[in-house]
Structure 1
Amino acid sequence: MTAIKFVVREGALQGRLPVQELARTCVGECALAAAELGARRAGLARVPAVQVDDGAVATAFLSERHLLIGGRAPVTFAPLSRFWRTADGWVRTHANYPHHRARLLDALGVPEDPAAVEAALAERSALDVEEAVHAAGGLAVALRSPEEWAAHPQAAEVAKRPLVERERPDTAPARTFAPVGASPLLPAAGLRVLDLTRVLAGPVATRTLALLGADVLRLDAPRLPELPDQHADTGFGKRSATLDLAVDRQHFEELLAAADVVVTGYRPGALDRFGLSPEALAERRPGLVVAQLSAWGAYGPWRERRGFDSLVQAATGIAVLEGSAARPGALPAQALDHGTGFLLAAAVLRALREQSYEGGSWFVRLALARTALWLTDGLDGPDGMAAADGRSGSYDGPGPWLSQTDSALGRLRYALSPVSFEGGPADWGRPPVPWGTDAARWAQQF
């Protein structure tokens, strides 16, 4: 078994929970999966050596904070996205998107004024706010301790599932990949990925597949613009297009007919009305890899709820563990998002490799809430994690793991990918583009 060389640096991603270890392990899994697929496609006698440097990992897990666009730091959280005191505790809201902000304000019956929101929330219980905002289509969760979350029925459903769910629903023929060269070694070269994801784990996964050579086409509904800074951070290596599935269904079917991978990041069931359930996709495109990401999991009473990293931290007890019930805290990075993103990319790469031996369509599923459970339970290693050795050092800042490039968005400073293996790519092949500016087609037409 290939060993992963770890460069362990003290001071990176410090928290009460083992965040640095989570980040290191997720990136290691992804890099190893990439090296194994690369060896398979390039016909190499051995799997290229993998190295995971805590400095690169920490920098990448904070990529949105290191990004500069024309010298300007990006906007991360909106004023109404934070913890608020309630009559009996705390609630965490997420209102970065205009439609989510409007639904939050409608549920509370207040204008867009932080003082008005604060006053309204102070008069209500946290669970009452959670349910009222959810009913209005907004996002708010009550702060829970680990014990309170463990008693919740959604936690019980999450705990039943593996960290990475894998399913092979059919016996489609084994895939024969075109061989790839070894300089640089691009394990996903020539593969086409439909990216139907938003914020943040899904785009991190597809950004990683783009680094590894995949033709990644991100598709969004034209009525739901992405936040520009967020899109810039996760858009490296991809093209960005809009497509209305209710109107341009035939266009989507043409794209699907040539796709190798579909990655979805919407609530479970949200895309089913368009015929985009994993089963429906594989029926129309046998041999497809379908990767699903959700906040709360595909089962249980919260399966259809919207969610983000910060909300999952609040609901699952992480915010209490990183602070207290009296003063909630947060992980040093959006580690659930980034970690799950790298695990999702690893699962896709492994499914592709196994297709070359066993065939079949493959479904893989991950959830932020399941990654949260993995973190709070102490990080039992994922199946197949390689043995590791390493050396120690200190984390003195992100300098060596940042780069710069010109783009249509302006001069960019950005974090490099921490996925590193012998002969692999050092950077993305293209910078991000403004949201929705590309044609909805594959880079190369055959």
Structure 2
Amino acid sequence: MRVMNNDTPPAVRSGTEALWAALGGAPALLDRVTYGGAPGRLPARLPVMDLARATVAVAGLAAVERAGLPGPVRVDDGAVATAFVSERHLRVDGRAPVNFAPLSRFWRAADGWVRTHANYPHHEAALREALGVPEGPGAAEAVAAAIGGRTAVDVETAVYAAGGLAVALRTPAEWAAHPQGREVAARPLLTRERLDGAAPRRRTGRLRVLDLTRVIAGPVATRTLALLGADVLRIDPPGNPELPDQHADTDVGKRTAALDLDRRADRRTFDELLDAADVLVTGYRPGALDRFGLHRPGLVTARLSAWGDRGPWAERRGFDSLVQVATGIAVVEGSAEEPGVLPAQALDHGTGYLLAAAVLRTLTEQDRDGGTRLVRVALARTGHWLTHGLPRSPALPGPAAGPVDPEPYLTESEGPLGRLRYARSPVTYEDGPVDWARPPGVAGTDAPVWSEPGPSGDGPAPGARG
């Protein structure tokens, strides 16, 4: 077991220091983080392991700060590397997950490459509609032929116009010259705003987190908050549930309910939930939820997007794999002739842990200063930090690192979905939780109510200063 603190090479600590500064944390607290553990790697040309290590470190540091604990926060490379590919280690009654659908992949266009994302049925339907491909056998071959006869940007434009997702491969220089690339580069990694002087909405009992996120980044953030004791209630539309394996991986520790916000009764239920929430986390496109009037005085709102909330792509849907393609990461990890990928959905996972840290830090500051608060992060901004702001650390002392052995960092549980094998959270600290309190249930079947009644005078919420 390698344990390092003040004698850790500066470059190993630099990512954590940069993120903690962006979060407004006190520099003195950085000495509470120890780095070590079994050698683990996420091998890449870009400093992916450094991003992973730093985002997990600040999530743990924000947790011990909020709980008033001395730490230490333990950043175990093996645990981090395993958790950043948690979806690959998932087993449901021994069955391996489906992480990408057949039409979610790279395709050759007439002048380069396109990557599509068609995991959700409605996105697959939009992709086929844009390309004139009928449903049924031979769809992959037909998509390949349709894309092969068009330019990459033409495919990107047509598929997005139809409501689907396709992104043309760009080099780092092409992204830097693109209007959205310039917008992303001009913005900070994350923003935290105090909107007014309202009193916090904190009640006695558990912290209440209303989760309106999908896929990996947002659910990783709320999964982490659930680990730390929050009552996390995820809401999905009844006709568009989360993909089963994504749900099994990222909804551990939470409850999930289905509400149609266009139905009057469901909307009233949702408004009552939001009225009683402490934190709202959203992962939809900027502006997509505005019509539902989500503002509440004293609420902490955390907004996650793919491309950022400004610029010509602000309202576009996006996923980690597509952000890698647009921003030049796929070229760096491969080439313009043969694009590559990061060794993990690292923008998703890293942004998720960063978002959890930002929520915790904001709650800590809100306890002191009050105010309605707004936190914003974006996958593209995390990608920009990976490519432009994060120095690569040297190898940590110890045995040479090959592929990480995941077994010490996996566990199993029985629940409504069956026997689950899953990755433990890498967010660990002295006297902290070691696992989630509950396995995931059947998606959308929990009652849309908070798990505890209103104010009870029972004392401070877990994870809050007592």
Q: Give the structure-2-normalised TM-score.
A: 0.87
Instruction: Please state if 1:135 is matched with 2:161.
Output: yes
Q: Count the aligned residue pairs.
A: 416
- Provide Cα deviations, 1:238-287, integer angstroms capped at 9, x if missing partner: 001001111122111111111000000000000011113xxxx1xxx321
Q: Is the 8 A contact 1:261 1:290 kept in 2?
A: yes
Q: CA deviation at 1:129?
A: 0.2
Alignment partner, residue 49 of structure 2: 20
Q: CA deviation at 1:148?
A: 0.3
Residue 374 of structure 2 aligns to a residue in which SS? strand
Alignment partner, residue 210 of structure 1: 226
- 1:34 pairs, out of 53, 58, 63, with 63
Instruction: Map 1:381-392 onto structure 2 (within 5 A).
Output: 392=398
CA RMSD of aligned residues (A): 1.6
Closer, same or farther in 2 for the Cα pair 1:252/1:53, shift >3 Å? same
Alignment partner, residue 299 of structure 1: 310
Instruction: Please state if 1:263 is matched with 2:271.
Output: no
Q: Is the 8 A contact 2:39 2:78 kept in 1?
A: no
Residue 257 of structure 2 aligns to a residue in which SS? strand
Instruction: Provide the C-alpha distance between the structure 2 equivalents of 1:175 and 1:108, rounded to a whole number of angstroms.
Output: 49
Q: CA deviation at 1:396?
A: 3.8
- 2:244 pairs, out of 228, 245, 262, with 228
Alignment partner, residue 387 of structure 1: none
Alignment partner, residue 120 of structure 1: 146
Instruction: Provide the C-alpha distance between the structure 2 equivalents of 1:106 and 1:128, rounded to a whole number of angstroms.
Output: 15
Closer, same or farther in 2 for the Cα pair 1:138/1:157, shift >3 Å? same
Closer, same or farther in 2 for the Cα pair 1:301/1:28, shift >3 Å? same
Q: Is the 8 A contact 1:6 1:391 kept in 2?
A: no
Alignment partner, residue 375 of structure 1: 386
Alignment partner, residue 321 of structure 1: 332
Instruction: Provide the C-alpha distance between the structure 2 equivalents of 1:6 and 1:313, rounded to a whole number of angstroms.
Output: 28
Instruction: Provide the C-alpha distance between the structure 1 equivalents of 2:51 and 2:121, rounded to a whole number of angstroms.
Output: 32
Alignment partner, residue 183 of structure 1: none
Deviates more, 1:344-353 or 1:220-229: 220-229
Q: 2:241 corresponds to which letter in structure 1?
A: P
Instruction: Please state if 1:364 is matched with 2:380.
Output: no
- Provide Cα deviations, 1:170-212, integer angstroms capped at 9, x if missing partner: 012367775xxxxxxxxxx710000000011000000000000
Closer, same or farther in 2 for the Cα pair 1:249/1:380, shift >3 Å? farther
- 1:418 pairs, out of 420, 426, 445, with 426
Alignment partner, residue 3 of structure 2: none
Instruction: Please state if 1:92 is matched with 2:115.
Output: yes
Closer, same or farther in 2 for the Cα pair 1:176/1:303, shift >3 Å? closer
Residue 414 of structure 1 aligns to a residue in which SS? strand
Instruction: Map 1:322-337 onto structure 2 (within 5 A).
Output: 322-337=333-348
Instruction: Please state if 1:76 is matched with 2:120.
Output: no
Deviates more, 1:221-230 or 1:100-109: 221-230
Closer, same or farther in 2 for the Cα pair 1:122/1:191, shift >3 Å? same
Closer, same or farther in 2 for the Cα pair 1:18/1:132, shift >3 Å? same
Q: Is the 8 A contact 1:8 1:391 kept in 2?
A: no
Instruction: Provide the C-alpha distance between the structure 2 equivalents of 1:55 and 1:66, rounded to a whole number of angstroms.
Output: 13
Q: 1:429 corresponds to which letter in structure 2?
A: A
Q: Is the 8 A contact 2:40 2:81 kept in 1?
A: no
Alignment partner, residue 438 of structure 1: 446
Q: CA deviation at 1:10?
A: 4.7
Closer, same or farther in 2 for the Cα pair 1:26/1:81, shift >3 Å? same
Residue 412 of structure 1 aligns to a residue in which SS? strand
Q: Is the 8 A contact 1:295 1:308 kept in 2?
A: yes
Q: Percent identity?
A: 67
Alignment partner, residue 24 of structure 2: none
Residue 429 of structure 2 aligns to a residue in which SS? coil
Residue 418 of structure 2 aligns to a residue in which SS? coil
Q: Is the 8 A contact 1:175 1:356 kept in 2?
A: no
Alignment partner, residue 149 of structure 1: 175
Instruction: Provide the C-alpha distance between the structure 1 equivalents of 2:398 and 2:179, rounded to a whole number of angstroms.
Output: 42
Closer, same or farther in 2 for the Cα pair 1:310/1:212, shift >3 Å? same
Q: 2:446 corresponds to which letter in structure 1?
A: D
Alignment partner, residue 286 of structure 1: 297
Alignment partner, residue 51 of structure 1: 74
Structure 2: 5+ residue stretches without partners: 1-27, 455-466
Q: 2:434 corresponds to which letter in structure 1?
A: A
Instruction: Provide the C-alpha distance between the structure 2 equivalents of 1:136 and 1:177, rounded to a whole number of angstroms.
Output: 44
Instruction: Provide the C-alpha distance between the structure 1 equivalents of 2:170 and 2:307, rounded to a whole number of angstroms.
Output: 15
Alignment partner, residue 186 of structure 2: 160
Instruction: Please state if 1:250 is matched with 2:268.
Output: yes
Q: 1:374 corresponds to which letter in structure 2?
A: W
Structure 1: 5+ residue stretches without partners: 179-188, 382-389
Q: 2:44 corresponds to which letter in structure 1?
A: G
Deviates more, 1:312-321 or 1:352-361: 352-361
Closer, same or farther in 2 for the Cα pair 1:333/1:396, shift >3 Å? closer
Instruction: Provide the C-alpha distance between the structure 1 equivalents of 2:432 and 2:37, rounded to a whole number of angstroms.
Output: 21
Q: 1:354 corresponds to which letter in structure 2?
A: E
Q: Is the 8 A contact 2:38 2:77 kept in 1?
A: yes
